[in-house]
Amino acid sequence: MSGQDIQISGPDGNFSGYLALPEQTPAPAVVLLQEIFGVNADMRAKCDALAKEGYVAFCPDLFWRIEPGIQLTDKTEAEWARAFELFNAFSVDNGMKDIDTSIEAIRGHQACSGKVGTIGYCLGGQLAYLSATRTKSDASVGYYGVAIANRLDEAKSISKPLMLHIAGKDEFVPADQQVAMHEGLDDHPMTQLHDYPEMDHAFARTDGTHYDRDNAVLADGRTMSFLAQHLRF
Protein backbone atom coordinates (compact mmCIF):
# COMPACT_ATOMS: atom_id res chain seq x y z
CA MET A 1 0.00 0.00 0.00
CA SER A 2 1.24 3.50 -0.83
CA GLY A 3 -0.22 7.00 -0.56
CA GLN A 4 0.68 10.16 -2.45
CA ASP A 5 -0.69 13.48 -3.66
CA ILE A 6 -1.56 13.50 -7.35
CA GLN A 7 -2.93 16.02 -9.84
CA ILE A 8 -6.27 15.71 -11.63
CA SER A 9 -7.03 17.66 -14.80
CA GLY A 10 -10.53 19.12 -14.77
CA PRO A 11 -12.52 21.37 -17.13
CA ASP A 12 -11.85 24.40 -14.91
CA GLY A 13 -8.21 23.64 -14.09
CA ASN A 14 -5.97 21.17 -12.31
CA PHE A 15 -6.50 20.20 -8.68
CA SER A 16 -4.79 17.83 -6.29
CA GLY A 17 -5.92 14.92 -4.19
CA TYR A 18 -4.58 12.16 -1.98
CA LEU A 19 -4.42 8.70 -3.56
CA ALA A 20 -3.84 5.48 -1.62
CA LEU A 21 -3.41 2.19 -3.45
CA PRO A 22 -3.99 -1.34 -2.15
CA GLU A 23 -1.38 -4.06 -2.41
CA GLN A 24 -3.32 -5.95 -5.07
CA THR A 25 -4.66 -4.24 -8.16
CA PRO A 26 -6.77 -3.81 -10.17
CA ALA A 27 -9.31 -3.11 -7.43
CA PRO A 28 -12.57 -1.21 -7.01
CA ALA A 29 -12.19 2.43 -6.04
CA VAL A 30 -13.72 4.90 -3.61
CA VAL A 31 -13.63 8.68 -3.93
CA LEU A 32 -13.70 10.17 -0.43
CA LEU A 33 -15.46 13.51 -0.01
CA GLN A 34 -14.04 15.81 2.61
CA GLU A 35 -15.54 17.58 5.58
CA ILE A 36 -15.07 21.34 5.86
CA PHE A 37 -11.46 20.83 7.00
CA GLY A 38 -9.99 19.94 3.61
CA VAL A 39 -7.88 16.91 2.70
CA ASN A 40 -6.49 16.71 6.22
CA ALA A 41 -4.88 13.97 8.27
CA ASP A 42 -8.25 12.37 9.07
CA MET A 43 -9.27 12.07 5.41
CA ARG A 44 -5.84 10.76 4.47
CA ALA A 45 -6.06 8.16 7.23
CA LYS A 46 -9.48 7.08 5.92
CA CYS A 47 -7.96 6.65 2.45
CA ASP A 48 -5.14 4.57 3.91
CA ALA A 49 -7.63 2.42 5.82
CA LEU A 50 -9.67 1.78 2.68
CA ALA A 51 -6.51 0.84 0.79
CA LYS A 52 -5.74 -1.72 3.50
CA GLU A 53 -9.20 -3.16 2.86
CA GLY A 54 -8.35 -3.58 -0.82
CA TYR A 55 -9.76 -0.40 -2.37
CA VAL A 56 -8.18 2.31 -4.46
CA ALA A 57 -8.97 5.43 -2.40
CA PHE A 58 -8.82 9.03 -3.61
CA CYS A 59 -9.73 12.22 -1.74
CA PRO A 60 -9.88 15.28 -4.04
CA ASP A 61 -9.22 18.82 -2.85
CA LEU A 62 -12.68 20.35 -3.27
CA PHE A 63 -11.65 23.75 -1.88
CA TRP A 64 -8.99 24.33 -4.53
CA ARG A 65 -10.87 27.19 -6.18
CA ILE A 66 -10.92 29.07 -2.86
CA GLU A 67 -7.55 28.04 -1.46
CA PRO A 68 -5.69 24.91 -2.55
CA GLY A 69 -4.10 22.57 -0.06
CA ILE A 70 -6.30 23.25 2.97
CA GLN A 71 -5.54 20.88 5.86
CA LEU A 72 -7.30 21.99 9.05
CA THR A 73 -8.09 20.18 12.29
CA ASP A 74 -11.11 20.51 14.57
CA LYS A 75 -8.96 21.41 17.57
CA THR A 76 -8.87 25.24 17.60
CA GLU A 77 -11.42 28.03 17.31
CA ALA A 78 -9.36 29.68 14.58
CA GLU A 79 -9.46 26.52 12.46
CA TRP A 80 -13.20 26.15 12.98
CA ALA A 81 -13.69 29.76 11.92
CA ARG A 82 -11.62 29.22 8.78
CA ALA A 83 -13.46 25.98 8.03
CA PHE A 84 -16.84 27.75 8.13
CA GLU A 85 -15.47 30.54 5.90
CA LEU A 86 -14.51 27.90 3.36
CA PHE A 87 -17.87 26.17 3.70
CA ASN A 88 -19.74 29.42 3.09
CA ALA A 89 -17.58 30.25 0.06
CA PHE A 90 -17.89 26.76 -1.42
CA SER A 91 -19.95 26.20 -4.57
CA VAL A 92 -21.74 22.86 -4.42
CA ASP A 93 -22.23 22.86 -8.18
CA ASN A 94 -18.52 23.41 -8.83
CA GLY A 95 -17.67 20.80 -6.23
CA MET A 96 -19.91 18.29 -7.98
CA LYS A 97 -18.11 18.97 -11.26
CA ASP A 98 -14.83 18.16 -9.51
CA ILE A 99 -16.29 15.01 -7.98
CA ASP A 100 -17.58 13.84 -11.35
CA THR A 101 -14.13 14.53 -12.84
CA SER A 102 -12.49 12.62 -9.98
CA ILE A 103 -14.77 9.61 -10.35
CA GLU A 104 -14.05 9.30 -14.05
CA ALA A 105 -10.32 9.93 -13.62
CA ILE A 106 -10.03 7.21 -10.97
CA ARG A 107 -12.23 4.87 -13.01
CA GLY A 108 -9.65 5.18 -15.78
CA HIS A 109 -6.64 4.71 -13.48
CA GLN A 110 -4.62 1.58 -14.18
CA ALA A 111 -5.11 0.41 -10.57
CA CYS A 112 -8.93 0.58 -10.78
CA SER A 113 -11.09 -2.37 -11.82
CA GLY A 114 -13.72 -0.02 -13.24
CA LYS A 115 -16.14 0.22 -10.32
CA VAL A 116 -16.05 3.50 -8.35
CA GLY A 117 -18.08 4.58 -5.34
CA THR A 118 -18.11 7.62 -3.06
CA ILE A 119 -18.06 8.11 0.70
CA GLY A 120 -18.58 11.56 2.21
CA TYR A 121 -18.69 13.12 5.65
CA CYS A 122 -20.55 16.28 6.78
CA LEU A 123 -20.35 18.56 3.72
CA GLY A 124 -19.06 15.47 1.94
CA GLY A 125 -22.14 13.57 3.13
CA GLN A 126 -24.33 15.97 1.17
CA LEU A 127 -21.98 15.63 -1.80
CA ALA A 128 -22.18 11.83 -1.57
CA TYR A 129 -25.96 12.11 -1.81
CA LEU A 130 -25.55 14.34 -4.84
CA SER A 131 -23.05 11.86 -6.29
CA ALA A 132 -25.95 9.41 -6.39
CA THR A 133 -28.15 11.95 -8.20
CA ARG A 134 -25.65 13.64 -10.54
CA THR A 135 -22.74 11.29 -11.29
CA LYS A 136 -22.02 7.75 -12.43
CA SER A 137 -20.91 6.63 -8.97
CA ASP A 138 -21.64 2.92 -8.66
CA ALA A 139 -22.52 3.25 -4.96
CA SER A 140 -22.56 6.22 -2.57
CA VAL A 141 -22.40 6.54 1.21
CA GLY A 142 -23.03 9.70 3.23
CA TYR A 143 -22.24 10.20 6.91
CA TYR A 144 -24.24 12.91 8.71
CA GLY A 145 -24.68 14.87 5.49
CA VAL A 146 -25.86 18.46 5.89
CA ALA A 147 -28.69 20.13 3.93
CA ILE A 148 -29.77 16.94 2.15
CA ALA A 149 -33.37 17.78 3.07
CA ASN A 150 -33.11 20.87 0.87
CA ARG A 151 -32.23 18.74 -2.17
CA LEU A 152 -34.74 15.90 -1.99
CA ASP A 153 -36.22 16.96 -5.31
CA GLU A 154 -33.14 15.33 -6.87
CA ALA A 155 -33.95 11.91 -5.41
CA LYS A 156 -35.84 10.98 -8.57
CA SER A 157 -32.47 10.86 -10.35
CA ILE A 158 -30.98 8.19 -8.07
CA SER A 159 -30.32 5.06 -10.11
CA LYS A 160 -27.45 3.44 -8.15
CA PRO A 161 -27.35 2.37 -4.47
CA LEU A 162 -27.15 5.05 -1.77
CA MET A 163 -26.63 4.60 1.99
CA LEU A 164 -26.99 7.44 4.49
CA HIS A 165 -25.91 7.42 8.14
CA ILE A 166 -27.98 9.87 10.21
CA ALA A 167 -26.98 11.15 13.66
CA GLY A 168 -30.16 11.53 15.70
CA LYS A 169 -28.86 14.45 17.76
CA ASP A 170 -26.97 16.13 14.93
CA GLU A 171 -26.46 19.80 15.80
CA PHE A 172 -26.27 20.66 12.08
CA VAL A 173 -29.16 18.49 10.84
CA PRO A 174 -32.24 19.19 13.01
CA ALA A 175 -34.99 16.67 13.64
CA ASP A 176 -37.38 18.11 11.05
CA GLN A 177 -34.74 17.69 8.35
CA GLN A 178 -34.14 14.10 9.43
CA VAL A 179 -37.89 13.41 9.20
CA ALA A 180 -37.95 14.95 5.72
CA MET A 181 -35.05 12.75 4.64
CA HIS A 182 -36.89 9.63 5.73
CA GLU A 183 -40.13 10.76 4.11
CA GLY A 184 -38.34 11.54 0.86
CA LEU A 185 -36.04 8.52 0.67
CA ASP A 186 -37.35 5.57 2.70
CA ASP A 187 -39.50 4.26 -0.13
CA HIS A 188 -36.88 4.71 -2.82
CA PRO A 189 -35.71 1.25 -3.97
CA MET A 190 -32.05 2.34 -4.17
CA THR A 191 -31.67 3.95 -0.74
CA GLN A 192 -30.85 2.72 2.76
CA LEU A 193 -31.03 5.08 5.75
CA HIS A 194 -29.54 4.15 9.12
CA ASP A 195 -30.27 6.14 12.28
CA TYR A 196 -27.96 6.52 15.28
CA PRO A 197 -30.43 8.08 17.74
CA GLU A 198 -28.06 9.21 20.48
CA MET A 199 -25.25 10.39 18.23
CA ASP A 200 -24.19 13.95 17.43
CA HIS A 201 -22.59 15.22 14.23
CA ALA A 202 -19.23 13.66 13.27
CA PHE A 203 -19.56 10.62 15.53
CA ALA A 204 -17.24 8.75 13.12
CA ARG A 205 -14.48 11.41 13.07
CA THR A 206 -11.65 9.64 14.89
CA ASP A 207 -10.47 11.69 17.89
CA GLY A 208 -13.22 14.25 17.26
CA THR A 209 -15.25 15.73 20.11
CA HIS A 210 -18.28 13.57 19.34
CA TYR A 211 -16.44 10.41 18.31
CA ASP A 212 -18.21 7.28 19.49
CA ARG A 213 -16.29 4.11 18.81
CA ASP A 214 -19.20 1.66 19.00
CA ASN A 215 -21.42 3.60 16.62
CA ALA A 216 -18.54 4.42 14.30
CA VAL A 217 -17.65 0.73 14.08
CA LEU A 218 -21.32 -0.11 13.43
CA ALA A 219 -21.62 2.51 10.67
CA ASP A 220 -18.29 1.61 9.10
CA GLY A 221 -19.20 -2.07 9.12
CA ARG A 222 -22.42 -1.31 7.28
CA THR A 223 -20.48 0.81 4.81
CA MET A 224 -17.91 -1.90 4.10
CA SER A 225 -20.61 -4.52 3.54
CA PHE A 226 -22.41 -2.10 1.22
CA LEU A 227 -19.25 -1.40 -0.78
CA ALA A 228 -18.41 -5.09 -1.04
CA GLN A 229 -21.89 -5.82 -2.36
CA HIS A 230 -22.00 -3.08 -4.95
CA LEU A 231 -18.38 -2.52 -6.00
CA ARG A 232 -16.88 -6.01 -5.87
CA PHE A 233 -19.62 -8.00 -7.57
* Domain of residue 115, CATH code: 3.40.50.1820
Q: Residue 1: is its pLDDT beyond 60?
A: no
Q: What percent of the chain clears pLDDT 70, i.e. is strictly above it?
A: 99
Helix (H), strand (E) counts: the chain: 6, 8
Q: What is the mean pLDDT of residues 207-211?
A: 92
Summarize pLDDT for 88-128 with one digit per residue, the tens.
999 999 999 999 999 999 999 999 999 999 999 999 999 99
H helical segments located in the chain: 41-52, 77-89, 92-107, 123-134, 175-185, 213-231
Number of domains the chain contains: 1
149-158 LR contacts (CB < 8 Å, sep 24+): 149/173, 149/176, 149/177, 149/178, 149/180, 149/181, 149/184, 151/126, 152/180, 152/181, 152/184, 152/185, 154/130, 155/184, 155/185, 155/188, 155/191, 157/133, 158/132, 158/133, 158/188, 158/190, 158/191
Enclosing domain of residue 28: 2-231
Residues designated catalytic: 170, 201
pLDDT for res 196: 98
